[in-house]
Structure formats: structure tokens, C-alpha cells
Amino acid sequence: MAPACAESCRVCRYSPWSAVMLDNGLRRLFQNPDRILRPYLKPGMAAIDLGCGTGYFTLAMARLAGPGGRVTAVDLQQEMLDAVREKGWREGLADRIRLHRCREDMLDLADQADFVLAFYMVHEVPDPVRFFREVRALLAPGGKFLLVEPFFHVSREDFGQTLDRAGTAGLAVRERPPMLMSRAAVLARDEVPPVP
């Protein structure tokens, strides 16, 4: 977690204003969800969008997973899940999207997924090791976890510590894809059991 931004993240955590800033056409110019997700998500896959917000990535995940796939959209705030539900219906994707309201200290999710996304949210998690253990349990064999953090909130050193915590929880870095204005890593279940 990036301690320097913890208070500001609590204040701005997906307020209606930040939702507008995170879900607009201009964002597609530098964070195109199809381009970011396509290497990891194929038709028929099960996927989870952790901290889905208003569904910026959720809808793209549902399109890429196709009619045979499913996406679980997870968020702490019911207002965000309601926005995802509305957009899903509007775009004809609602039958592929399941909504799940997590607790502040726990995902409380038992799904298995081929792909899990946590985009710009891990720095807000109160207990990262516990969070990463839950993510590890969600990954199906061969599943991938794309972790992306904002470089303006999370320093290189903080991101390194985040990856160390993920390693403690039994997740290993498989690649470090370049991503504009972000620090990113693709992780998978480590063959070595996590540290208890």
C-alpha cells in the first residue's frame, strides 16, 4: 500500500466526480480497455474485475469473454455496482455480468477465474497480503492476474513492495507489461505454497 496516498484515496474513493473522470471517452486514448485486456482474456473465459467502479473495464471484459464467458464485477460501493448493472443492460451484456459487493476487509468471493483484474485499486486495500491470498484462491489453474497501479500514487519502490507482498501470498510475477502512466505486472499462482 502507498501510505502517502491512503487518506486521499479514502476521500476520493469513486465519488461521482471521480467516476466521471475515470469513465470518459478521453481515457480511451491512453487506457483503451480492449487493447489492455485482449492479450489475457479470450472467449469463453471466466473473469473477475476487482474494484470495478462504474464498469470501465467490466464491459470490455464481458465483450471479450463473449456469450460463453462470464465476468464478476466486484466493488465496495453499491452505487458503482448499480452503474455497472445499468450499463450492462444498455449494452446487451447484462447476462454475462454478475455483481458482487465485497466487504472493506474481504472480497468474500468463491468464484474461480481464468483472469482477474485489479486496476488502480490495490493501493487502497487495508491488508494487501490477505487480499493477494484471496486473489490467489480465485485463480483457476493457469489463470492470470493483471495488477495495475497509478504511477502518480504508487512509487516504483511502493510497487516493488506490493509485488513482494503478492509473492508472500503465493503469486509470482510472470511479466511486466508497459502501460502508460501506470505500473503493471501479470501474476500467476506460484508453484511454491504461500507463506502462512
Cβ 72 vs Cβ 96: under 8 Å: no
Intervals of the chain under pLDDT 70? 1-30, 192-196
Q: Phi first, then psi: give them for residue 69, nearest 5 degrees.
A: -100, 175
Closest Cα partner for 117 from 52, 22, 28?
Answer: 52
Domains in the chain, start-ordered, CATH in brackets? 130-196 (3.30.70)
What CA–CA distance (Å, rounded) separates 167 from 50? 19
The predicted model scores a pTM of: 0.87
Q: Count how many Cα atoms sit within 13 Å of the Cα of residue 61 in the half-sphere of its side chain.
A: 30
Q: According to the model, what pLDDT value does residue 21 have?
A: 52
What CA–CA distance (Å, rounded) separates 31 from 170? 29
133-171 pLDDT, tens digit per residue, is 999 999 999 999 999 999 999 999 999 999 999 999 999
